[in-house]
Amino acid sequence: MLGQLSSARLAPYYLAGVIFAYYGLVPAVVQAVWGIDAYYWKLATVATTAAVSIVAGFHIPVFDRLVGGVRPIVLPARVAAFGVWGAFVVLVFVILATADNIPFLNALSGASTAQDLIVQRQDFLAARQGWEAALPYLNVMFMGSIIPYALAVMFVNMHRLRWIALPLVMAYSLLALEKILLVKVLTPLFILAMQRRVWNAAILVLMSVLTLGLFYLTTYLSRGETSSEEMAFAEAMSHASPAAQAASGFSVATYFSTDYRPSGAIDLLIWRSIAVPIFTAADALKVIDTELDNQLQFGATSTFLAPLAKIVTGRDKINFDAMVYTYQWGSHLGRANSAYFNEASVNFGWPGVVGFSLIIGLCLRLFSRSPDPAFAALWPLFCWNVFQAGLIGTLLSNGFLLVFAFMLFVRLEETAAEPSPRVRRQS
């Protein structure tokens, strides 16, 4: 039962259903009952269009003949593994050697305030300058898809180093207090465990408890030693408006806004999981209208496409996520990501929403038709990325385009001394 429920064949229906319910139905109900923001209606309409288009794209067989039908490039498995893990080890060494502070260690010592941790998390990777500016992009590419895929391959093939690689990658994922990195590392393994390809029930339960514990720990530590008021939202608390700081009591309108003040780590986690993505997506649509005059950007929001967009429009690259964050919090410290359909909308309008959604459906079809269980187990990561961020960044910055190309055009050749590549079931 769990194996069927975790199958990539159901991925488009999961994603479309969640997008419709989360970004479509909830905003429509909230707006109809409480009348918070008229842009909630637009968000519901865009999300519904996106959900329908994802399912439609999944049923288009345009890339089917590429799966197993292309003569692949043959690489020795040992060479490929050495290349991936060797490059990752070098990257981690350079990141740690050039870092001024390690946020996790500082938070664990209790010597840093919430504001200190915000700055330290920015400095750890995002705020790098000069040649070091390439490090956050490489880190996102490896941790976004390449390392989760490499770990999944190790566990599927029962590689003898798998229980060494996993805890080391988990430890590294905690250093910047970025909980999502831990989730990305473990999600493909949980999918494979649900399909009974790796682990047994006891190990699955143990890893689940450990993951929840680490998730809570990083949420708690990211607040630092602060007052109860500062605990509300550590990444933007110092920029809250006076009216927001004075607010008390509970209301739906306040809950779906930056004025809400969580009472602790659990409340903060729930609020950021339920309300923040919804009102951020609505705010992104508002920014398109009010600050960009509803002018299409034609890829100017993407680092990779901005040079081409400048040729078309003559406009420079814009940091759309930073614009939304500034609109919400009045700060330039962070970025407010929202679902892929907002990226599509700001760049290409309604045709972009439909086109990006069709592409996502096609990608999910590749997951469902792949004979590689490690690759197929990446579908939740892909869905999560487009659910709360852009499609362009998912394919390029997060490395999924490389993983797709690897699956379609490369075949690993095992030597006699290496584990069998066939899928093994662990009892």
Q: Is residue 259 part of a domain?
A: yes
Q: Quick check: helix, strand or coil at residue 414? A: coil
Q: Is residue 423 part of a domain?
A: no
Compute CA distances 261 → 22, 116, 228, 240, 273, whole Å. Answer: 22, 20, 9, 10, 14
CA–CA dist 357, 367 (Å, integer): 16
CA–CA dist 57, 367 (Å, integer): 13
Q: Is residue 418 part of a domain?
A: no
Q: Which two tokens stand for residue 249?
A: 């009591």
pLDDT at 269 (0 to 100):
77
Question: How many CB atoms are closer than 10 A to CB 160?
Answer: 9
pLDDT in tens, the chain (427 residues): 778 899 999 999 999 999 999 999 999 999 999 999 999 999 999 999 999 999 999 999 988 777 766 677 888 888 888 999 999 999 999 999 998 888 877 777 765 666 677 677 777 887 788 898 899 999 999 999 999 999 999 999 888 899 899 989 988 988 877 777 888 888 999 999 988 888 776 777 777 788 777 777 776 766 544 433 333 344 444 444 444 444 446 789 999 998 888 887 788 878 988 999 999 999 999 999 999 999 999 999 998 889 988 888 888 899 999 999 999 988 776 788 889 999 999 999 999 999 999 999 999 999 999 989 999 999 999 999 999 999 999 999 999 999 999 988 888 776 544 444 444 433 3
Contact 24, 278 (CB under 8 A): no
Compute CA distances 318 → 125, 136, 296, 391, 395, whole Å. Answer: 20, 19, 12, 17, 19
CA–CA dist 347, 354 (Å, integer): 12
Contacts of residue 310, Cβ cutoff 8 Å, sequence gap at least 6:
300, 316, 317
Estimate to the nearest angstrom the gap between the alpha carbon of 400 and the chain centroid.
12
pLDDT at 376 (0 to 100):
95
Contact 155, 376 (CB under 8 A): no
pLDDT at 223 (0 to 100):
57
Q: Which residues form the domain of 236?
A: 2-413
pLDDT at 201 (0 to 100):
67
pLDDT at 75 (0 to 100):
84
Q: Is residue 391 part of a domain?
A: yes
Query: How many helical (H) and strand (E) elements, i.e. helices and strands, does the chain have?
Result: 22, 2
Q: Is residue 106 part of a domain?
A: yes
DSSP codes joined into one string, 12-63: HHHHHHHHIIIIIIHHHHHHHHH---THHHHHHHHHHHHHHHHHHHHT--TT
Q: Is residue 400 part of a domain?
A: yes
Compute CA distances 269 → 216, 237, 346, whole Å. Answer: 9, 15, 29
Count of structural domains within the chain: 1
pLDDT at 249 (0 to 100):
60
Q: Is residue 422 part of a domain?
A: no
Q: Quick check: helix, strand or coil at residue 73? A: strand
Contacts of residue 212, Cβ cutoff 8 Å, sequence gap at least 6:
none
Q: Is residue 189 part of a domain?
A: yes
pLDDT at 237 (0 to 100):
45
Contact 268, 179 (CB under 8 A): no
DSSP 9: G
Phi, psi dihedrals of residue 410, rounded to the nearest 5° = -125, 140
CA–CA dist 205, 52 (Å, integer): 35
User: Judging by DSSP bridges, how do beta strands 410-413 and 73-76 pair with one another?
Assistant: parallel
Amino acid sitting at position 238: S
Query: What does the radius of gyration of the chain's CA atoms come to, in whole angstroms?
Result: 22
pLDDT at 123 (0 to 100):
78
